[in-house]
Chain A
Amino acid sequence: MNTDPLLTVSNFSVVYDVDPPVEAVSDVSFTLNRGEILGLAGESGCGKTSLAYGVQRLLKPPAVIPQGSAIFHDESGTDVDMNALSEEEMRRFRWDKASMVFQGAMSSLNPVTKIGKQLADVFTTHRPGMSRAERTRECGDLLDLVGVGRDRLKSYPHELSGGMRQRVMIAMALALKPQLMIMDEPTTALDVLVQREILQQISELRTQFGFSVVFITHDLPLLLEISDRIAIMLQGEIVELDTAANIYHHAQHEYTRKLLGSFPSLTGERGGFVYGRSDDTVAAGAVTGGATS
């Protein structure tokens, strides 16, 4: 696993300036490496979403970032201090360098516009030099890439199934070949078979294009399979950050162990975590850093 850092987050905090103020993310520091899949796990309200959105400065008021920094180490060599960007600069940075796959694709796609148009306006905004034909071709390629097919360019979101919509979201996030993709519960609302396919897709794309992924979910076993490293969050802080294998075998923090222990096993004794199956299968998956099934 290479240790070339892509994103350095230091002492990052996010506070919702309401009455009384609520600190959603508390003095968080971590480094994300190039090409790495970092899992971000924790229960509802632990701050993982606030952290991921906050780093991209996607949170709406009353959210505010009272301290900390997020430095993006662009592949061209320059370092970008994301907190220092103006609104206009942030807009240009977005999607080009770092994109996002949102949960709940039904409500994330504009219901009254065709898929093709929603893909294309990324290019219209960020690559104004492209001709219309080029845009259409590019959008078609993206849809082919994720397995939706270019004939869906003229479809509306409600005409697609849940899985296909999620793939469209992934295609959209890939459009500008970003270096970082943040995925917020991309498979939670889907059924398990589709989940598996999508995760596989993400893994392959990662191998193909080399972007880093921050994968947010409350589903820890899933992370154990696909992530290189996992960060466990609790009440706005990262309580443990380690490789997937280490988390599985030697979880240090009390809370991590609690989390691990709360996912019931299908076989073996009651209360055990994947008890009875060969530990090596799961760990092997974690160590190779990608979905193996």
Chain B
Amino acid sequence: MTSTTSPATSEDSTTDPATPDPAPPSRPAKTKRSKAGSAFAMFRNGKSLTGLIILGFFTLVAIFGDVLAPYEPRAQDPEAYGAQAPSMAHLLGTTNMGEDILSQLIYGTRGVLVVGFLSGIIAMIVAVLVGVTAGYVAGWKSESLSAITNVFLVLPALPLMIIVASNYESPSLFLIAAVLALTGWAWGARVLRAQTMSLRNRDFVQAARANGEKLYRIITVEMLPNLTAIIASSFVGTVTAAVLGLTTLAFIGIIPITNLNWGTILFWAQQNGAFPDAWWWYIPAGLCIALLGMALSLINFGIDEYVNPRLRSAGERARAMRKKGYKASSGVTTVANRPDLHGSTPGAPGSSVIAELHEDPLETEAEDEETISTGWPRRSS
């Protein structure tokens, strides 16, 4: 089974026709290990790796927080009262109550990551269940699932979260994660539905159905591997949204301060007049949020470029070509006196380079399917 993913553009869309990737030359059956390896191929480019490293760093901080933090987060140091600037004793300074900000930051990582990932997992499960089912079945069942998805898409997330969260005195982490997931699953479901619908009509799925494969096998063995990139991307997107939502809610003061996260730090900062002077209080927390968000975005970019080869090669190739002196946006071929190039290896018949650069006429007829997007919608909050 080949692991071609359906092509996608990296932004939300609904009706652009998608063009198929050129069919890869047939390969011998892959071993289990190489299959696992190719499932993670989407992470193997520079952007994804950078993002994963940063994410890994934060994860380690969250796990080993107890060991790394020099103080208890709410421990008040009487010598450091009154929001002192960074010093040897307190590397990132203190709050007005003498609490060590670095420790708060470290402990806060846990709150952010736990809720973020929990929310992402819940949302992913729901999105896969609803989206793939909606894409696979047809007719009114699919339409009604799609309608439900669309309702959740339109409902504004933050107001809903505020109203629900305000109802509980001390919401558990799970509840918070669940509420965040409730507002975030719809987007992934919609993308998955579109992608599943397009996969359903692909030849290999038709062949499996004609062979009488059972439904659950078709979904798990044939379709899901092709959907991994989309699922991964939407998972990352949901986590990003959850992190930002959580910190925003904490900043507003809706989420009780018993759940310490970076947003809580900023809440205290604002309440206690840290702006603008006590920069050590509010800048690091915000930077951490931004950094984590960036790491997640980078991972998503990596997945995008993997799924849509045009992005991958377009960007790199364009830069490589600029170095050689070509203008990528030029509409006219460069004429250059390049004796070094003359006599280079003649393209073999069916050469893949040339085929890649000029799509084979027999393979170009675009399928009029919905384009699939993998990027999380860009947001303003």
Contacts and interface: CB of A to CB of B under 8 A. Distances in A.
B358 A17 contact: no
Contact of A45 (B321, B343, B350): B350
Contacts of A21: 341, 344-345
A160 to B, nearest CB: 14
A45 B327 contact: no
A260 interface: no
Chain A contact-residue range equals 35 or more
Nearest to B16: A111
Given A21-B341, A106-B366, A189-B361, A64 B336 contact: yes
B333 A59 contact: yes
Contacts, number: 140
A256 interface: no
B333 A236 contact: no
A57 interface: yes
Nearest to B334: A64
A90 B58 CA distance: 55
Interface string B324-343: 10111011111111110111
B156 interface: no
Interface string A51-95: 001100111111111110000000000000001100100110000
A67 B366 contact: no
A15 interface: yes
A46 interface: yes
Interface residues of B, number: 40
Interface of A: 13-18, 20-24, 26-27, 43-47, 49-50, 53-54, 57-67, 83-84, 87, 90-91, 103-104, 106-107, 111, 185, 188-189, 234-237
A22 B353 contact: yes
Contacts of A62: 317, 321, 324, 326
Contact of A23 (B326, B334, B345): B345
A104 B364 contact: yes
Given A15-B342, A63-B333, A189-B365, 17 more contacts: A13-B341, A13-B342, A21-B344, A22-B347, A23-B344, A43-B349, A49-B358, A53-B333, A57-B335, A60-B333, A64-B334, A64-B338, A64-B341, A67-B337, A90-B332, A107-B366, A185-B361
